[in-house]
Amino acid sequence: MKLTCIFVEDETPAMNLLKIYADRTPTLEVLGFFDSSMEAIQFLSENPVDVIFTDVNMPQLTGIELTQSLRNKPYIIFITANAEYAVNGFDLDIVDFLVKPVTFERFIKSVNKVFDREDKKKLGIVSHHNENENKEELEDYSMTSIYVKESGKVIRIDFDEIIAIEGLKDYVKIITDERPIVTHLTMKKLEEQILPKSKFMRVHKSFIVGLRQIRKFDGLDCYLELQNKLQIPVGPQYKEALMVKLKPVN
């Protein structure tokens, strides 16, 4: 089964990326790409689709207003650079939201959510948004950085800057592109209370890695190669969960 869809996005780099993702997804049949919500509405008046991928912050008519204007609403997936729109979007019973920069993994996850809705519809199961359904993802996007103390100074570290974290008993070494930062924190507190699970994973008793920093996973020798050629060991008890998280394409 294929889902017919359109994309509504006014930023050229974002649209180009979405075109690449759509080409790599055999379950999607793209009927159009639009850089204007008004053009999309005109197209939809004569061409029904299964799914609309739309940016929220569009000129003239926002993605939210576009969704509200539709009588026979298809499945909606919001694309946004601002996570706060996601909360508003769920009030409209959208299927999912994608926060820029969108990864292919998250894109596919959104497509699969549409198929889940379709399966429930065929079984006669009413599917409405549960406010807890995407709680973890909303919490992940609500924090983008942490502040830590080092040598009497308070330092801000953006999550996207973190390559890996090494545990040093009651301290941790946070490895970034710029330099390592040593602070008084425990790995347990970082893993369970601070770091978003969508962006980080414990791969060894002494290491947490940024998932987007992974360049290679050697399953035979059990190590990860991260950005800047940094190699991190993978503990045997973490190997299976890591494979599930990476979702390699066979």
Q: Residue 34: is its pLDDT beyond 50?
A: yes
Bridge partners of residue 24, in order along the sequence: none
Could you give the C-alpha distances from 185 to 167, 173, 191, in angstroms and in order?
A: 9, 9, 11
Higher-pLDDT residue of 247 and 96 is 96
Q: Residue 156: is its pLDDT beyond 80?
A: yes
Higher-pLDDT residue of 245 and 90 is 245
Residue range 43-95, pLDDT digits in tens: 999 999 999 999 988 888 888 889 888 888 899 999 887 655 554 545 567 88
Q: Residue 11: is its pLDDT beyond 80?
A: yes
> Edge-to-edge, what's the strand order for the sheet holding 214-218?
214-218, 223-226, 231-233
The pLDDT assigned to 139 comes to 46
Average pLDDT along the chain: 84
**Could you write out the three-class secondary structure of 54-115?**
EECCCCCCCHHHHHHHCCCCCEEEEEECCCHHHHHHHHCCCCEEEECCCCHHHHHHHHHHHH
Burial class (CB in 10 A: 0-12, 13-18, 19+), 60: exposed
Confidence of residue 249 (pLDDT cuts 50, 70, 90): low
Higher-pLDDT residue of 44 and 120 is 44
Q: Are 107 and 98 within 8 A, CB to CB?
A: yes
Higher-pLDDT residue of 164 and 246 is 164
Report the pLDDT averaged over residues 19-39.
95
The pLDDT assigned to 135 comes to 46
The pLDDT assigned to 199 comes to 86
- Indicate the pTM of the whole model: 0.54
Confidence of residue 168 (pLDDT cuts 50, 70, 90): very high
Residue range 197-235, pLDDT digits in tens: 888 999 999 999 999 899 999 888 899 999 878 999 999
The pLDDT assigned to 91 comes to 57
